[in-house]
Structure 1
Amino acid sequence: MRRVVVTGIGVIAPGGVGREEFWNRIVDGKPAVRRITAFDPSPFRSQIAAEVDFDPAAHGLTPREVRRMDRFTQLAVACADEAVADSGLDLGTADPERAGISLGSAVGATITLEEEYVVASDRGRDWEVDHRHLRPFLYQALVPSSAAAELAVRFGVNGPAAVVSTGCTSGIDAIGRAYRLIQDGEADMMITGASDAPISPITVACFDAIRATSPSNGEPEAASRPFDAGRKGFVLGEGAAVLVVEELEHARRRGARVYCEVTGYAARANGYHMTGLRPDGHELGEAIRDALGQAALNPGDIGYVSAHGSGTKQNDLHETSAYKRSLGDHARRVPISSIKSVIGHSLGAIGSIEMAACALVLQRGVVPPTANLTVPDPECDLDYTPLVAREVSARHALSAGSGFGGFQSAMIFSEPGASR
Structure 2
Amino acid sequence: MAITGIGVVAPGGVGTKAFWALLTSGRTATRTITAFDAGAFRSRVAAECDFDPVAAGLTQQEIRRMDRAAQFAVVAAREALTDSGLDFDARDPGRTATVIGSAVGATTSLEREYAVVSDAGRHWHVDPRYAVPHLYDYLVPSSLAAEVAWAAGAEGPAAVVSTGCTSGLDALGHAADLIREGSADVVIGGATDAPISPITVACFDAIKATTARNDDPEHASRPFDRSRDGFVLGEGSAVFVLEELSAARARGARVYAEIAGFAGRANAFHMTGLRPDGVEMAEAIRVALDEARLDPTAVDYLNAHGSGTKQNDRHETAAAKLSLGAHAYRTPVSSIKSMVGHSLGAIGSIEIAASALAIEHGVIPPTANLHEPDPECDLDYVPLHAREQRTDTVLSVGSGFGGFQSAMVLVRP
Identify the TM-score tier after normalising by the shorter chain: over 0.9
Structure 1 runs (4+) greater than 3 angstroms displaced = none
Q: How does 1:116-127 map to 2 (within 5 A)?
A: 116-127=113-124
Taking structure 1 as the reference length, the TM-score comes to 0.98
Partner of 2:174: 177
Partner of 2:20: 23
Select the residue among 6, 9, 13 that pairs with 1:9.
Answer: 6
Partner of 2:326: 329
Equivalents in 2 of 1:362, 1:60: separation in Å? 30
Partner of 1:142: 139
Equivalents in 1 of 2:5, 2:196: separation in Å? 28
Q: What is the Cα deviation at residue 252 of structure 1?
A: 2.1
Write the letter of the residue equivalent to 2:384.
L
User: Secondary structure of 2:55's partner?
Assistant: helix
User: Secondary structure of 1:275's partner?
Assistant: coil
User: Secondary structure of 2:322's partner?
Assistant: helix
Q: How does 1:238-277 map to 2 (within 5 A)?
A: 238-277=235-274
Select the residue among 334, 340, 343 that pairs with 1:346.
Answer: 343
Q: Deviations over 1:364-410 (max 9, x none)?
A: 00001000000000000000111111111111000000000100000
Write the letter of the residue equivalent to 1:124.
G
Write the letter of the residue equivalent to 1:22.
F
Partner of 2:405: 408
Partner of 1:206: 203
Equivalents in 2 of 1:405, 1:412: separation in Å? 23
Q: What is the Cα deviation at residue 185 of structure 1?
A: 1.1
Partner of 1:111: 108
Q: What is the Cα deviation at residue 253 of structure 1?
A: 2.4
Select the residue among 191, 194, 198 that pairs with 1:197.
Answer: 194
Q: What is the Cα deviation at residue 247 of structure 1?
A: 1.1
Q: What is the Cα deviation at residue 249 of structure 1?
A: 2.0
Select the residue among 186, 209, 212 that pairs with 1:215.
Answer: 212
Q: What is the Cα deviation at residue 153 of structure 1?
A: 1.5
Equivalents in 1 of 2:385, 2:250: separation in Å? 40
Partner of 2:78: 81
1:228 to 2:256 alignment: no
Q: Deviations over 1:253-298 (max 9, x none)?
A: 2221111111000000000010000010000000000001011111
Partner of 2:352: 355
Write the letter of the residue equivalent to 2:190.
G
CA contact (8 A) 2:78 2:152 kept: no
1:59 to 2:44 alignment: no
Partner of 2:275: 278
Equivalents in 1 of 2:343, 2:361: separation in Å? 24
User: Secondary structure of 1:56's partner?
Assistant: coil
Q: What is the Cα deviation at residue 331 of structure 1?
A: 0.3
- Structure 1 portions without partners, runs of 5+: none
Select the residue among 368, 389, 400 that pairs with 2:386.
Answer: 389
User: Secondary structure of 2:377's partner?
Assistant: coil
Equivalents in 1 of 2:154, 2:215: separation in Å? 47
Select the residue among 30, 33, 39 that pairs with 2:30.
Answer: 33
1:237 to 2:237 alignment: no
Equivalents in 2 of 1:306, 1:192: separation in Å? 19
- Structure 2 portions without partners, runs of 5+: none
Partner of 2:92: 95
Equivalents in 1 of 2:91, 2:66: separation in Å? 26
CA contact (8 A) 2:95 2:155 kept: yes
* CA RMSD between the two structures: 0.6
Sequence identity (%): 64
